[in-house]
Structure 1
Amino acid sequence: MYAILDIETTGGRYNEEGITEIAIYKYDGHKVVDQFISLVNPERDIQPFVVNLTGINNNMLRSAPKFYEVAKRIVEITTDCIIVAHNAQFDYRILCTEFRRVGYDYERKSLCTVELSKNLIPGQQSYSLGKLVRSLGIPVSDRHRASGDALATVKLFKMLIDKDSEKSIIQNSVRANPKHQLEPRHIDIINELPSVTGVYYIHKADGEIIYIGKSKNIKKRINQHFTNTNPKSKKIQSLVSTVTYEETGSELVALLKESEEIKRLKPIFNRALRRTIFTHALYSFIDEHNYINLKIDIADGRKKPITTFSNRQSGKSFILNAIEEYQLCQKLTGLYKTKTSCFNYDIKTCEGACIQKEPPELYNKRVNALISKNSYSNKNMVIIDKGRDIDERSTILIENGIFVGIGFFNLNYQINNIDILKSIITPMSNNRDTQHIIQSYLRKNKKVKQITL
């Protein structure tokens, strides 16, 4: 018996993804005998590029069941089944990760239709699901949705079973998926670590730092490093001798310290984070009619951005939300290319700045409100976040639009007196990455307290 499935996820860091949709078809080798299809509330945000790919957004999942609410049904429908999926290693890993979060030990054998297809249908230009089924004449609907992709995999699997006339290839391709066993020295390291937010440092035997990371749960994150099977994790597992950490309480402080420490120490396994961590930025300019225009563009060090983004899709999502929140014009934000009115004006949700119907003064007032909220240029401000203890708070100081440093305090009067505040601040480097980290964090965490000095 086979459980042919497909999973859509939030995207994000390895082993930190969440399931957004799952479809399982129980197949007896001849026909589908049971099925389960459901959206899943992942309890975390979906990456913008995934929203663009699947069409599944955060609003769609608010009333969807959480994973623990569908876990029992998944166990039941896959009991005594071999898991079948296109790139089974990914789907099986995600499923095991979700079950691990709810404290259940999930284990099944698996079959990968990518591997089977390469053996039974060699010579294909591509073995991605969409291109493969099209080349084989297999109809597929709802591409990049769990049900559509799982049904396409059912039809592909039927074809593969027919092609495997001796039934030997499929039999030999079944994976037992043994659990990754932690080495005793790795277990000892993990046992010494706390489940707190902070920055961690992975050391070799001679004390050299080979990797720096941040996590909201250091113990859990190190456990992931020691159980992952990707090449970088395996190298870290072979070299690690000790792990030290610095608790921060605040994820923002951890992000800032991680960025600074990586630039300062340049660990061998942090090559990606040595580079600038954003690719696109939001810029403004005034057009010939005196309207402030906004534009998402590739980040340019010679120009001063309002705010920055990790990728173009993230910037586009920001603009879409800004249009709604500030009643901005699609044309003047670069989303709707036209010589006449924008689409929102036609449906009466734009005041007409696109055709000079709304006065520039009124329109620009709303744009400036957006710019002021999302840029701390020339501002003197303090950001207050969680501390390391229940009665402590962390603080990030910005003077004249420049990030000065971070500190911790217990008494409110300390942040109301600028001289005392400066005395508890540990100076840190101000650069484009720190600006991106702070602005990005404030966009995602709107409840974080900000005080203008």
Structure 2
Amino acid sequence: MYAILDIESTGGKYNEEGITEIAIYKFDGHEVVDQFISLVNPERKIQSFVVGLTGINNEMLHHAPKFYEVAKRIIEITEGCIIVAHNAKFDYRMLRLEFDRLGYNFERKTLCTVKLSKKLLPGFESYSLGKLVKKLGIPITDRHRANGDALATVKLFKLLLEKDTDKEIISSNLKLNSISSVDQKLIRLIEDLPNAVGVYYFSDNQGEIIYVGKSNDIKKRANQHFTSDAPKSKEIQEHVTSIDFEKTGNELLALLKENQSIKKLKPKFNSALKKDLFSHGLYAFTDHNGYINLCVTKLNPKESYITSFTNFQQGKAFMERALETYALCQKLTGLHKTKGACFNYTIKQCDGACIGEETPEIYNKRVKQLIDFYDYQNKNMIIQDRGRHPGEKSVVLIENGELAGAGYTELNFQVEKISILKNVINPMENDRDTQHIIQSYLRKTHKTMKIINYK
């Protein structure tokens, strides 16, 4: 649990300042669950340059509560939380300073989004909150006011969690909050899991991630792990003490994140990804009559293919659907081996490419439509789908036929401007497995999915 906050102060000599405004958002790693926002009467003069910067003056704070009046609420909302702030050293010092004046020892763990940004978003000219969120396309209102800056920090921290592919933020949190009870731990571990699509991470009592999985229903899948008598499940039940999860909004992001996490983290209870998970591919060739033929056969790493399948049966089923969708010929798709007309021609569902009645030029146009849709080789495109909550969209960026990365956007211009989109997304390795995952997903019908081509 995190307490993401921002504090405005009077300015002045070091350790003689006072808090003028505070905003705290309690964040569970996925959504805001509580908040506290208030002006504070610092009982001291505000420096003139601070008034110019924030717009907060002494007259505004005359009837605001003094710090001792809001101290109890601050303690309650930050209890059990890691404090997150942009330049956390300053905000945490200000809190401790005010509590010291009340004779109370205020102690919390802290995370600084400046330091996290420098590590997870290298190469930026400036890491000030205003310039950083502008580069990332994150909206910010009321700059230099506690609520506006705190809300921007919430959005920034969510993005940093996405960028944290090594899960260092999660692991550090889990080490602080691991469950030590053995008897009831499995029941308690799944209590707060969502019935949502995403990726889940099982960790041991050292904060080490020992298993990564994906599911369309995280809670249901975790329960299956904990009720199974399979040897691997039994081992996981013995070692797991904490579970973290990432909602992804859709299955494609879950599959890509699972693939990336397993390869990067190498959890000890994850088997290596099978090299033959996708064993067959769809290939095209032009026959001596000039017709483009399609066939499903075993994958050959040396030859380019249109799309891939887990087995021959899946490929055959795909071709049977494509036959109807694109009005193709059974003979020229390998579904009906014959020297003459295919069966569909006899029932008037084929225009006769199999016997030369339909010209190659006309028939090949429809075949090329299929190839263009499913083969993204050398293409630049964005696969847009549902996000983790209403108003958010997921994006998968393909550049020159290769996966560049994936992430989430809330504003249209973040998608329309590729330079901003590249800052928002989390880079991902392009390999054969990711290519299979994307191609397989594109073959399915998704009402919410949208393909955006760009130059």
Cα distance in 1 between the residues matched to 2:356 and 2:262: 49
Q: Which residue identity is paired with 1:265?
A: L
Aligned pair 1:338/2:338, yes or no? yes
8 Å CA contact 1:282–1:305 kept in 2: the answer is: yes
Corresponding residue for residue 452 of structure 1: 453
Tell me whether 301-310 or 274-283 shows the greater mean CA deviation.
274-283
Corresponding residue for residue 30 of structure 2: none
> Within 5 Å, which residues of 2 pair with 1:408-423?
408-423=408-423
Corresponding residue for residue 29 of structure 2: none
Corresponding residue for residue 318 of structure 1: 318
Structure 1 residues 452, 314: closer, same or farther in 2, change over 3 A? same
1:263 Cα offset (Å): 1.8
Q: Which residue identity is paired with 2:251?
A: E
Query: C-alpha offsets along residues 210-257 of structure 1, whole Å, 9 cap, x if unaligned?
Result: 221011222221111101222222221122222122222222111101
Corresponding residue for residue 400 of structure 1: 400
> Within 5 Å, which residues of 2 pair with 1:18-417?
183-271=183-271, 273-417=273-417
8 Å CA contact 1:260–1:428 kept in 2: the answer is: yes
Tell me whether 365-374 or 223-232 shows the greater mean CA deviation.
223-232
Structure 1 residues 446, 392: closer, same or farther in 2, change over 3 A? closer
8 Å CA contact 1:296–1:315 kept in 2: the answer is: yes
Corresponding residue for residue 53 of structure 1: none
1:315 Cα offset (Å): 0.4
Moved over 4 A (4+): none
1:276 Cα offset (Å): 4.6
SS in 2 for 1:271: coil
Can you give the 5+ residue segments of structure 1 that lack an aligned partner in the other structure? Answer: 1-181
Cα distance in 2 between the residues matched to 1:243 and 1:276: 30
Query: C-alpha offsets along residues 305-345 of structure 1, whole Å, 9 cap, x if unaligned?
Result: 10011111110000001111111111111111111111111
Cα distance in 1 between the residues matched to 2:354 and 2:446: 30
Cα distance in 2 between the residues matched to 1:303 and 1:273: 22
SS in 2 for 1:244: strand
8 Å CA contact 1:198–1:216 kept in 2: the answer is: yes
Q: Supply the RMSD in Å over aligned alpha carbons.
A: 1.7
Structure 1 residues 183, 350: closer, same or farther in 2, change over 3 A? farther
Q: Which residue identity is paired with 2:318?
A: F
8 Å CA contact 1:263–1:274 kept in 2: the answer is: no
Cα distance in 1 between the residues matched to 2:388 and 2:275: 29
Aligned pair 1:438/2:438, yes or no? yes
8 Å CA contact 1:262–1:274 kept in 2: the answer is: no
SS in 2 for 1:256: helix
Cα distance in 2 between the residues matched to 1:327 and 1:240: 53
1:353 Cα offset (Å): 1.2
Tell me the TM-score normalised to structure 2 length: 0.57
Corresponding residue for residue 426 of structure 2: 426
Larger Rg: 2
Cα distance in 1 between the residues matched to 2:193 and 2:325: 43
1:270 Cα offset (Å): 2.2
8 Å CA contact 1:190–1:219 kept in 2: the answer is: yes
Cα distance in 2 between the residues matched to 1:359 and 1:445: 31
Percent identical: 55
Cα distance in 1 between the residues matched to 2:403 and 2:312: 25
